[in-house]
Structure 1
Amino acid sequence: MIRRATAIIQHPGTHRVFRLRLRLRRMLFAAVLLAPASHGGLGLDRAGALGLRPDGMHRVRGQIGVAPEGDACPACATWSWLDVIGTNSGWSHGSVRALGNCRDEDGPAHRHRRPDPNPDWHLCVGMLPAVDRWGWIDAYRSIHPSSLSAVISAAALLLDGPEPAPAPVPAAPAMPASPRRQMSREEEEQILKRADELIARVEAILREFDTGR
């Protein structure tokens, strides 16, 4: 599930739906909290996940599993979500939006091996805050239990759906002396069409989140 959600987060077409990136990252973090230890998670029940506070997260973080690939790593998914809520706690909404629109580094590198860029997550009220339809993160209130159920349902939708298309590999930069290749209108239309198809597949996830809140 982490690999599938990461493919959507990384896809350029997802930039058009800022709140989707945030909710996908929150969904991955919720999955890490709820998944059994055999799957790299913490094995919490719903009440434990909703009641988790920063001090508790600090104590159990070392128990989160690590996968060989960074795009499927529970510890990396956790690192990314802590970066989001830490930024939301100490910076502006614009900073959160800028962070949400950033793609993770390509390749096998693991994010969780780096220091936390925004340790202000230690100041958060809860680890699973509400995210409204405009992408605002509630710094003072955790999601409702029914919303967590909607997140779990969305995760099941993601697992049962088709495999998301991987993000296109960026072309190697041209040599300074070489002319820059221009994208044709047909190529641009094909890229936008693929992006629209990707967003259409995850609209069901957004609907689950909105109705669950």
Structure 2
Amino acid sequence: MLFAAVLLAPPSHGGLGLDRPGALELRPEGLRRLRDQISVAEDSASCPACATWSWLEVIGTNSGWSHGSVRALGHGRDEEGPAHRHLRPDPSPDWHLCLGLLPAIDRWGWIDSYRSMHPASLSAVISAIALLLDGLEPAYAPVPAAAAMPVSPRRQMTREEEERILKRADELTARVEAILREFDAGR
């Protein structure tokens, strides 16, 4: 929703000022040209450039990885580095391979890499943004520390583990190739 807001918001409010068709038809090469026109806010939580970076992480991960990997992005914590995400290198270069930057999302939250969001869905996002902007600012109640959702730590793979996995994959590939050669020879 924030990325859609960045695309549609006028430049005076930090966005690109695209119309609905322009936002729905925006391709990676277009965003590469326009990206430096997206404003930066002092607070990283309300920074349009950071919202763009975060969305590119989601669609790039969706392009090259599993649905579980995309879902894990929502539960992960920011890595150490600059407070502003847009100052970091692009999170997943696979976003450059996406057909569109506002893909369709089904009712379960899965991203469809082959279709753009429907114009009516974009209108619903715009209406939701307008309601958020026009409504009263929410009053947040403090959450007790015990009620906070625990975040499971990410296991880091060592170089040795990665080499063992790759060696095992090479062995399996060689076995499959041998089986296929044997099958072809028996024909």
Deviations 1:4-61 (A, max 9, x none): xxxxxxxxxxxxxxxxxxxxxxx11011111111111111111100110011011110
2:137 counterpart of 1:163: yes
Among 53, 64, 71, the alignment partner of 2:27 is 53
Question: Partner letter of residue 135 of structure 1?
Answer: G
Among 14, 20, 24, the alignment partner of 1:40 is 14
Residues 168 and 132 (structure 1), Cα distance of their counterparts in 2 relative to 1, 3 Å cut = farther
2:52 counterpart of 1:112: no
Residues in 1 aligned to 2:20 and 2:115: alpha-carbon distance in whole angstroms: 16
2:13 counterpart of 1:75: no
Pairs within 5 Å for 1:103-142: 103-104=77-78, 109-142=83-116
Segments of structure 1 that go 5 or more residues without pairing to the other structure are 1-26, 172-182, 193-213
Work out whether residues 89 and 123 of structure 1, in 8 Å CA contact, stay in contact via their aligned partners in 2.
yes
Work out whether residues 130 and 143 of structure 1, in 8 Å CA contact, stay in contact via their aligned partners in 2.
yes
Residues 160 and 89 (structure 1), Cα distance of their counterparts in 2 relative to 1, 3 Å cut = same
Work out whether residues 70 and 108 of structure 1, in 8 Å CA contact, stay in contact via their aligned partners in 2.
no
Structure 1 position 160, deviation (Å): 2.8
Residues in 2 aligned to 1:167 and 1:86: alpha-carbon distance in whole angstroms: 34
Larger radius of gyration: 2
Work out whether residues 129 and 140 of structure 1, in 8 Å CA contact, stay in contact via their aligned partners in 2.
yes
The aligned counterpart of 2:171 is none
The aligned counterpart of 1:93 is 67
Q: What SS does the corresponding residue of 2:15 show, helix, strand or coil? A: coil
Work out whether residues 82 and 88 of structure 2, in 8 Å CA contact, stay in contact via their aligned partners in 1.
no
2:141 counterpart of 1:153: no
Residues 128 and 140 (structure 1), Cα distance of their counterparts in 2 relative to 1, 3 Å cut = same
Deviations 1:110-159 (A, max 9, x none): 00000011010000010001112211001111111111100101111222
Structure 1 position 167, deviation (Å): 8.6
Residues in 2 aligned to 1:108 and 1:87: alpha-carbon distance in whole angstroms: 21
Work out whether residues 53 and 91 of structure 2, in 8 Å CA contact, stay in contact via their aligned partners in 1.
no
Question: Partner letter of residue 104 of structure 2?
Answer: A
Question: Partner letter of residue 92 of structure 1?
Answer: S
Question: Partner letter of residue 154 of structure 1?
Answer: A
RMSD: 2.6
Question: Partner letter of residue 74 of structure 1?
Answer: P
Q: What SS does the corresponding residue of 1:139 show, helix, strand or coil? A: strand
Question: Partner letter of residue 121 of structure 2?
Answer: S
Identity %: 78
Kindly report structure 1 stretches of 4+ aligned residues shifted beyond 3 Å.
Answer: 103-108, 164-171
